[in-house]
Structure 1
């Protein structure tokens, strides 16, 4: 096995999204050496997405061989949905149509037998933020991704807690509005129905009468002083603070890292969010609330970290 101190060693890292694939070569210094993107191709069905992922990984491997004259030492892949990292199975993904997919084995075979680590997309992004991003050096953090839905990653001493069954961090399904609309999960009033980027976009589209309106547009309108946007934003921030206070009560994080599409609004989101959280807590310690630092590179960096961690574990077991 290639030793970890070899500066020419690299891993293949993939971040699989509902609409796009991001891939990278990640070096021993945990830096992005090469990056590439392409559509997921989910319109072709689940099997086509699998083949696109495997072919993309093979292309990255070839790029690494050409650039460094050596094979990758491992690979890491982050996917949405329910993930069983121990068995290397993508158990279920509504967006991609996967069920019980042995993705780790398929990827290892396509890459010539290298070790492969499989992780959940948000927890993997949280791992990167916790190790080399906004949570670096923090003993306990909570990473929250506000995108199409809302999910979280619980960070403890440089690792991310998967939970007993791979479901830790699903804060988007905390009930914040009892009796509210039904969520796709089957419950009512879930946080992501009110404070995800998708939810804010829907609310703003209804408020302004433009069916193409987005959460980013709502943020711009808030900054411009539009009272309709301010009302939409206030409702979303209040719901988000409600869910986060529940998470803070249970987890007591030192730092709360906010990422995802909605967080691109920066202080337009974070300033009122800090105020709303402070207003809702009673005995709880309010964590430091900061923006994510790695942007959309977090997934690939996290997948690379999973791969390097896998190598470390294998070396330690020898």
Structure 2
């Protein structure tokens, strides 16, 4: 199955903002575990106005969190409509992406471990509250599509995007289409790599328990008895000659290379893009990962391995692409021929909010 389809969920009276689509804007929202990014995106994939607010989490109550997030998104939509109006522009659609298991075709967030919700019909709720056509999907899958069409994957039809932070996931863009697998595709963080370490998913030995930024920090502290602030600190200590840091880093790279080799054998991507907080390690990560991956591959296509480009804008731009598709406009060709996005104009965004969702 190629791509994901979005339900024809609209306000009973149709979109509230009737206008020439080409002169309009869409609202994009990227819901994270700690922050919600929201912005206006134009027909060239440029973020024209953006803001970030804390995610309103109700501890221990996923249903209440879902309600609070819905209300927050409705409020942000109102604010961004006003911002669009100040530019004499109309809003033609709303795109929302969330973490966890997502049924994009139904517009439902099936499950989020971190936010605690189950079976929340966000597309229907938001369409009813805002009167806008709503596109809804998974955050990593949307970010991967943005990287393929507007970022480091431009010009490539087969791209795998792997953000590594608190967890690890993957977005598969095959023949220019984001592959959803009915919402199940891309959970590479829960492939068993043999570590034997219990995982929050209920399994053990998952890639996330060895190679995520959170795991690298935790494993170094457990090995040495010396707490560190994050995986970036482990990378710095490795560069300074710390053998324990080098061992923890090597274990992470080895596990990650095995999963990427299997991915390369299965879907033959032209390029693998590494994103998320751990990507800030740059060549300290990519160098050994390239060597390990190259050693594992034999008859398989050898993908290029490089850093993602869009950073923490990827999910927001992905939500914008989805919203434009919901309005009948596809931004960026499948082989990436359109202009790349420009930086956002940011409003009411604190330093803490700007870093929300980005793990060290």
TM over 0.5: yes
Cα distance between partner residues in 2 of 1:285 and 1:150: 23
Are the aligned partners of 1:13 and 1:303 in contact in 2 as well (CA < 8 Å)? yes
Count of equivalent residues: 308
Matched, 1:257 2:273: yes
Matched, 1:29 2:48: no
Alignment partner, residue 250 of structure 2: 234
Q: CA deviation at 1:210?
A: 3.4
Matched, 1:225 2:228: no
Deviations 1:273-300 (A, max 9, x none): 0001011222222200010000000000
Matched, 1:83 2:99: no
Alignment partner, residue 188 of structure 1: 204
Deviations 1:105-148 (A, max 9, x none): 2222332x111100101001101001000111101111111111
Runs of 4+ off more than 6 Å = none
Deviates most, 217-226 or 138-147: 217-226
- Coordinate RMSD, CA, aligned: 1.7
- List alignment gaps of at least 5 residues for structure 2: 1-17, 331-360
Give matches, 1:1-318, under 5 Å. Answer: 1-6=18-23, 9-43=24-58, 45-46=64-65, 47-66=67-86, 68-111=87-130, 113-163=131-181, 165-177=182-194, 180-312=196-328
Deviates most, 118-127 or 90-99: 90-99
Q: CA deviation at 1:184?
A: 2.5
- List alignment gaps of at least 5 residues for structure 1: none
Deviations 1:28-71 (A, max 9, x none): 111010111111021465132332233223222222222x2343
Cα distance between partner residues in 2 of 1:27 and 1:155: 23
Q: CA deviation at 1:313?
A: 6.8
Q: CA deviation at 1:100?
A: 1.2
Give TM-score scaled by structure 1 length: 0.92
Alignment partner, residue 350 of structure 2: none
